[in-house]
Structure 1
Amino acid sequence: MPAARISRRRSVRTAITLAVLPVFAVLSACGYGSDKKDDTAKPAAQASGGQSSAGTSASEIRLGFFANVTHATPLVGLKEGFYQKELGSTSVKTQVFNAGPAAIEALKGGSIDATYIGPNPSISGFTSTNGELLRIVAGTTSGGASLVVKPGINSAADLKGKKIASPQLGGTQDVAVRSWLAQQGLKTDTKGGGDVSIVPTDNAQTLALFKSGELDGGWLPEPWATRLVQEAGAKVLVDERTLWPEGKFVTTNLIVRKKFLDEHPDTVEALIKGQVATTSWIQANPDKAKTDVNDQLTAFTQKGLAPAVIDNAWKNIEVTNDPLATSLLKLKDDGVKAGITKDADIHGIYDLTLLNKVLQAAGQPTVADAGLGAKK
């Protein structure tokens, strides 16, 4: 490759990319599934394990998630083998993302079939494709996001003229910080201007930049909010749970590419069975689950969390199969007001049929879609 071309490529690679590269090196060695892409349908009767006999099973499912505590369910489920047990002969190929918009682009490009993701990118992916791209098939996590800032910042007014990070433009935390600032009478824009400059930044870089004084805070998911507090001297200005009734709001959902769901409903059902089993196991074994999460973060990011960090971050989340659908409408409106999402009808974004089937079979309460389920 010519030296000039190499130079150009290096010049556009940010520290974000450098932070993510080790993740993908680990992914190739994780052994969750084959790297070979083969979406050819097989008769379900050929599948082993817990797959349904209805429909056809995919030879592989490509699953995305983030290396965050708010994605504890896939981290634990993969490590403990709950997904593979239910998927049987269907292999799982994993991919790690820093934030939702990148995962949505991967879904659009057909390089993944399903992903754990925040609500606002789910909405954007749905509305930008006229409802054709995806369906939310389960909830995963509530809570686990905070605005953490320098010690001298004591109110919203103190943020004027400051730089605040979010994981990625259009992501769930990005929408949350812009919405909250707007409610406080502070303006932002998508180019980093306004009363408060919002700087979309990879989470690992946010920690480094906060330590160096280049950022004044960030609206971040766990464990990054806790890491800024414990490792860099930040303080919590807003725990997002305080902004929601009963402190509950959707942080992470499981979404599936609609085409994959239509063609391989039995594979999606098996994936959901794996999640439901994982959720129950986490709730019954929180200490072991924390250890699993930290082990997985170590594998995917080359650095685990200090015990005090994982303990505090864990207290800030709730694992749940309930998508908390009523919170999605407000999140959509917040995204529209923030200029991140175009206003559109999101009816049909949920398809909880398989989830409720699995929950009923497990003797657990079913969940509601707040009237936003698939149109009949």
Structure 2
Amino acid sequence: MLNRPMESVRDSVLRRRTLLAGMGAFALSACSSKPAQPTTPAVEQPGIRLGVLQVTDTAPLFVAQREGIFEKHGLQPKFVTMELTGDQRIDLEHGVADVTFDSWVTIFLNVADGADWVVLGEAYQAGPRSTGLLVSPSSRLRSVNDLAGKRIGVNNLRGLGVLLTNSVLATNGMKPSDVQYVEMPFDKIADSVRKGEVSAGWLVEPYLTRAQLDVGCVLLADTAVGATADFPQSGYACARSFARKYPGTVRAFQRVLAEAQSRALDRSTVEAVLPDYVQVSKSVAQLMNLGTYPTTTLAIRPQRVVDLMYTQQFLKSRINVEERMAAGTT
């Protein structure tokens, strides 16, 4: 009689242990029956070649390099400095770069000429006074209308500067034919303005601030206002064949870009890389006007560029940017 309660307690404990063990086995079975989560594609080509220009737009890439963001996502990029002057026609199939950075104008002109490229991401949007027309401190020009019949220095006769300046001219009732564009490197424009070889020059940062500090140039007109306010300035593209052959590499680059662009929202982070990678002084880096580094890629933004290019007859037909978006862009 005295042993029965003890046996009853032991039996009860055993039954509870058996029940818990059964429940654990069921839970494990249920977990194992769930569909497998999608895995991140392998990076097929870690040593991706990135075509870059020494302009403010590319600062996030150098932030990514400095902070180990590329390595974090399995990439070991090789930076290739591209030409900043003239109308560039880039061979992404057999050339020196796999992915290229450039102004949207140049990217879409390449596409219009038959380059089968896809958009990987946005780089930069112009901000107030981040791009504009400069004149010498002794210039008698006081308004955009005073540019009639004058020479304007630009880095590319078929580039972003001409597109933006044409828009400013139109706002003031003028035509592109009312001025004469003269092509020269960015780093020569301010001096040409000072010498009177051109009456005005179009510049982006950091060249804009450098011209004001070093040469004393004066801003005549902001070219990122009105119809071109917050204008999508530049982006990244690769050949469609590259995106198809190396989808994991492309996705890795897009992840790097998104993280780096987010880091670049902190101005001090951008200022820290500019002296070493874009070759500007610390004072210029601190004083220059910055635009915006988009953290997502939306076709509607570069489509603005296409539409303006078509209106100004840079393009014979419109390009549908949505159809040019690589997998992974949103």
What is the aligned-residue identity percentage?
Answer: 20
Corresponding residue for residue 148 of structure 1: 134
CA shift digits 1:88-146 (9 cap, x unpaired): 4x5424223315842x42436533111121111122122221xx521112112111322
Do the aligned partners of 1:207 and 1:232 also contact (CA within 8 Å) in 2?
Answer: yes
TM-score by length of 1: 0.69
Q: For residues 328 and 347 of structure 1, do their structure 2 counterparts lie closer, same or farther at Cα, with a shift above 3 Å needed?
A: closer
Give 3-state SS (helix, strand or coil) of 1:218's partner: strand
Asked if structure 2 preserves the Cα contact closer than 8 Å seen for 1:147 and 1:219, the reply is yes
CA distance in 1, matches of 2:213, 2:168: 24
- Structure 1 runs of 4+ off > 6 angstroms? none
CA contact (8 A) 1:67 1:97 kept: no
The residue number in structure 1 matching 2:210 is 227
- Kindly indicate whether the alpha-carbon contact (under 8 Å) linking 2:99 and 2:236 is maintained by their aligned counterparts in 1: yes
Alignment correspondent of 1:124: 109
Could you say which residue in structure 2 is the equivalent of 1:64? Answer: 51
TM-score, reference length from structure 2: 0.77
* Maintained 8 Å contact 1:84/1:274: no
Give the RMSD, CA atoms, in angstroms.
Answer: 2.5
Q: Distance in 2 between matches of 1:347 and 1:329?
A: 6
| Aligned length in residues | 287
The answer to whether the 8 A contact 1:83-1:273 is kept is no
Encode CA deviations 1:228-287: one digit per residue, 9 max, x unaligned.
222222222322332248x42211211122111111111011111111221222224x22
CA distance in 2, matches of 1:63, 1:99: 18
Q: In terms of mean alpha carbon deviation, does 251-260 or 332-341 score higher?
A: 332-341
**Unaligned 5+ runs, structure 2:** 1-38
Aligned to 2:61: 74
Contact 1:141–1:317 at 8 Å: present in 2 too?
yes
Specify every segment of 5 or more residues in structure 1 that has no aligned partner in the other structure, as ranges.
1-51, 189-193, 299-303, 357-376
Take 1:351 and 1:170, find their aligned partners in 2: how far apart are those partners?
A: 24
- Counterpart contact for 1:155–1:237, Cα < 8 Å: yes
- The equivalent position to 1:329 in structure 2, one of 289, 295, 303, is 303
Q: 1:204 to 1:278 in 2, by over 3 A?
A: same
1:318 corresponds to which of 292, 307, 314: 292
| CA pair 325-147 structure 1, distance change in 2 beyond 3 A | farther
CA deviation string 1:176-234 (max 9, x = no partner): 1123324434333xxxxx32111121101112212222122222211112222222222
- Choose from 192, 197, 202 the match for 2:180: 197
Distance 1:114 1:184 in 2: 38
Which of 196, 208, 211 lines up with 2:191 in the alignment?
Answer: 208
